[in-house]
Amino acid sequence: MIHRSGARMLGPEDAVARDEWYAVAIDADVEPERGYRTRLLDVDIELTRDGEGAVACTAVVEGEVHRLPVELAHHHLWTTLGSPTHDVFAIPEADDDGRRFVSCGRVTVRASGLRIVENFLDMAHFPFVHTDILGEEAHPEVKPYRAEIRPNADEVWATECVFRQPRAALASDGAVDAEYQYRVPAPYAAILYKTSPNRADALDLVGIFVQPRREAICDVFPFYMLFDDDNSDAAVAQFEQMIFLQDKSILENQIPATLPLFAGAEIPTRADALSIAYRRWLKAKGLRYGTTPAGAEE
């Protein structure tokens, strides 16, 4: 539902969703003097880059043009329909010496962005969905790990995660016990820190920025920030896309397509400690966009 009262109230009635920043394009994909049209939270928007390289973002609703703020962060362009009280979250590790940023493109997924993030945070599916790459059926166990909401940072984290992986990254030689940490810096974004095959003392970052075009249709921008001097950007992106397309076949077949936050809708176990924390955090925020209202389940 499009809601508008006053000059700047665009998009859904859910103020929590409006007041977030969203990545809406890879910076390099917005070319000078050519409009880049997309959609955010049901609202059609357009990005344009002028001759000096500055990017503007506009939304046209009921014939009225609204100018939206634009931020450049993490090689993506970000905007909002509301009035965020915070900046786009920082990724301090991005500036490490020798770390490379690799964009893995944009993938459309017909599911709630919250389902997409939750899938990204999940280790238990590795043996079944990413068989013989990120997991194997012979080693499906998820060992206990720590999941927590960090109130000061307003983020969700999981630490002390370990999972047996046949081929944890493109640069891997063989099976390893990969060590993981997860960070959820915003409802529609997730970052994974995992053992780098090339640097024993460092962690590679893999992440997704999710752009909710509609409640259950999103564009996902997967990216790497990694230590790897051997493999090309294209090879790294292809590895990630292989993984992500396996997830897409799951995500487009969950019922309902939105994420239920009310008790009893779905049954978690201990392995879902991070998913439980994520859902609890979303519920405490009062986020509704992309969630299943109670009573609407199958």
Which residues bind to other proteins, rule: CB under 8 A?
A: 118, 123-125, 127-129, 137, 140-142, 249-250, 253-256, 260, 266-271, 298
Task: Between 98 and 128, name the residue whose CB sits nearer to other proteins.
Answer: 128
Task: Between 81 and 184, name the residue whose CB sits nearer to other proteins.
Answer: 184
Cβ count within 10 A of residue 144: 11
Task: Between 77 and 282, name the residue whose CB sits nearer to other proteins.
Answer: 282
CB of 205 to other proteins, least distance (A): 25
| Both structure tokens of 168 | 């944890």
Angle, to 10 degrees, between the axis of helix 113-120 and the axis of helix 233-251? 120
CB of 133 to other proteins, least distance (A): 15
> Residue 107: which residues within 8 A CB-CB, separation 6 or more?
219, 220, 222, 241, 244, 245, 248
Task: Between 198 and 254, name the residue whose CB sits nearer to other proteins.
Answer: 254
CB of 56 to other proteins, least distance (A): 39
Task: Between 64 and 252, name the residue whose CB sits nearer to other proteins.
Answer: 252
- Cβ–Cβ < 8 Å for 111, 54: no
- Cβ–Cβ < 8 Å for 140, 127: yes
CB of 195 to other proteins, least distance (A): 21
- CA pair distance 169, 178, nearest whole angstrom: 10
> Does the CA dihedral 45-213-26-106 come out positive or negative?
negative
CB of 253 to other proteins, least distance (A): 4
